[in-house]
Amino acid sequence: MSAAALQVATSAAFLVAAAGLAWRLRLHLSRDLLVVGARAAVQLTVVGLLIAAVFAEPPLAVAFIGLMLFAAAWTAGGRLTGVPAPRRRAAVAIGLPALGATGILIAVGAFSPEPRTAIPTAGILIGGAMAATSLTGRRLLEGLTADADAIETRLALGDPIRDALAPTVRQAIHTGLIPAMDQTRNVGLVSLPGTFVGLLLGGASPAEAARLQLTVLLAIVAVELAAAVLTSELVTRSRTGPGDRLLPKG
Amino acid sequence: MTTADADATTSPGPVVVAEAVAVRQGGRELLREVTLDVRRGRVLVLRGPSGAGKSTLLRCLNGLVWPDAGVVRLDGADLRSLPAPAVRRRVALVSQTPVMLPGTVADNLAYGLASPGPDRLTRAAAAAALPSALLDRDAAELSGGERARVAIARALTRDPEVLLLDEPTAALDADAAATITTTVRALADTGLAVVVATHDDTLAAAIADEVATLPTGGRGAG
């Protein structure tokens, strides 16, 4: 049996074993487990074929990155309830830092401009920026409501709007950066991140894998901070008016 | 107090004027064509049922809300043409549920001031009937009446020309309400212009030089 067939057969055996255990324990999960397993197999096969085509055609790579950004903006924008043009704002907050950092990493030669490298790099950074945008945006909108009395008190005491909002904005950015900070703090201790594992499986030396993983990880921290700051700026602008005023919701 | 201020104190002209001020929000009319004058050394009491727009009007008078129609003037200038932080120091608002900022009472009084000398804090505390022994207390531990007085003292540290008070005696016991009543009247007697939105008949009767009534739906004028 070839290595590929062995991999597929082993993973299928795990799925069947899980479904069998669920059936034996009467968890009413067997059918769902088999369905999600089959679905994952189909999705990954399709994406694998698509990626193969994209890797071969650089213009398709640009379109693929655009699609990733669109999907990320759609998801994160959905969290910005009550903010006008939420998905456009999310696209700016995610796209500027993620694509900017990808460009810098390629421009300085840290990563090759080939689709095989550029797409995963952009994907990781877009994903990180999406998480920071969603978390920061949601926390900031909650904070603007919860802290409304304190914000108005500061405004009434003569604070400019930026100063009055500073504690709420700071808290939102802190929240938005929690996943990136935790991931960076615990890297190698709690989990081995995808880039590192992928490079090792691909035959890279541990030193090379660690170096590239560190590059990606530190870029993610910077990208997520920039996305969180941009998100708070774009949300703040939508909720403040001239004359240092907090505008009512909606 | 400067000579100019002393002149202003005795000046008969209004310091703040609302001219046909209207505010709408989400298709609802919060305030409809309210016109009134606020004069130095006088207490203007705003009356009206809940929802009449008293709080909205107070927030218009210090620029926290901009009217959809009409204009608010401070010494003749459209409020919207003036720098908002400076306006809010001159026209100080104390909200119905005063928020204590983190720290001690003294921290609250000094909040946002570039050089808050101890004299300035003590003077403001005394004017608001706040015992100086309270200055070192954690502001989060104060009673409702103490919070109300800290909020007034905090507004006074900015040396305002107008003091706007939103239901200053709501949720206070009789003694605390009486202290606020005496304090407000004394502040007006020093030349400060005071506007008080209240449901409290005792307070209104004790302090009002003028009364403006806002009927339900915001229609009315002073």
Can you give the pLDDT at residue B217?
59
Select the residue of B84, B93, B154 nearest A244 (Cβ to Cβ): B84
- Indicate if A86 and A36 belong to the same structural domain: no
Report B:137-176 residues touching A (Cβ under 8 A). Answer: 154-155, 158
Can you give the pLDDT at residue B81?
97
- Indicate if A79 and A186 belong to the same structural domain: yes
Mean pLDDT of B95-119: 90
Rounded-to-integer distance, Cα B131 and Cα A80, Å: 46
Report which DSSP code applies to B32.
E
CB-based contact A157 B26, cutoff 8 Å: no
Q: Which residues contact B163 (CB under 8 A, 6 or more apart)?
A: B92, B94, B152, B155, B156, B187, B192, B193, B194, B195
- Indicate if A108 and A175 belong to the same structural domain: yes
Mean pLDDT of B110-129: 86
Of A33, A56, A79, the one marking the end of a domain is A56
Both tokens of B167, joined, read: 């239901």
Can you give the pLDDT at residue B12?
62
Mean pLDDT of A20-47: 93
- Indicate if A119 and A105 belong to the same structural domain: yes
- Indicate if A160 and A242 belong to the same structural domain: yes
Both tokens of A118, joined, read: 């550029």
Structural domain harbouring A127:
58-246
Burial B45-76 (b: 16+ CB within 10 A, else e): bbbbeeebbbbbbbbbbbbbbbbeebbbbbee
Q: Are A133 and A94 in contact (CB under 8 A)?
A: yes
Domains with residue ranges and CATH for chain B: 3-218 (3.40.50.300)
Q: How many separate domains does chain A show? A: 2
- Indicate if A27 and A86 belong to the same structural domain: no
Can you give the pLDDT at residue B99?
94
At CA B142, angle to CA B136 and CA B147, rounded to 5?
A: 100
Flag whether pLDDT at A125 surpasses 80: yes
Bridge partners of B221, per DSSP, are B213
- Indicate if A131 and A234 belong to the same structural domain: yes
Mean pLDDT of B142-150: 91
Question: What's at A44, amino acid-wise?
Answer: L
Can you give the pLDDT at residue B47?
93
- Indicate if A180 and A169 belong to the same structural domain: yes
- Indicate if A111 and A46 belong to the same structural domain: no
Q: Which of A119-133, A224-238, B10-24 has the lowest mean pLDDT?
A: B10-24
Mean pLDDT of A81-93: 95
Nearest Cα neighbor of A228 from A179, A165, A180, A177 is: A177
CB-based contact A153 B101, cutoff 8 Å: yes
Mean pLDDT of B90-94: 96
- Indicate if A41 and A82 belong to the same structural domain: no
- Indicate if A177 and A238 belong to the same structural domain: yes
Flag whether pLDDT at A156 surpasses 90: yes
- Indicate if A31 and A2 belong to the same structural domain: yes
B4-55 pLDDT, tens digit each? 333 444 456 799 999 999 999 888 889 989 999 999 999 999 998 888 899 9
Burial B10-43 (b: 16+ CB within 10 A, else e): eeeebbbbbbebbbeeeeeebbbbbebbbbbbbb
A135-150 pLDDT, tens digit each? 999 999 999 999 999 9
More confident residue, A195 or B188: B188
Rounded-to-integer distance, Cα B15 and Cα B149, Å: 24
Rounded-to-integer distance, Cα B82 and Cα A171, Å: 31
CB-based contact A152 B101, cutoff 8 Å: no
CB-based contact B93 A156, cutoff 8 Å: yes
Q: Which of A208-212, B53-57, B105-109 has the lowest mean pLDDT?
A: A208-212
Strand B162-166 versus strand B193-197 pairing type: parallel
This model of the complex carries an ipTM of 0.88
Q: Are A125 and A220 in contact (CB under 8 A)?
A: yes
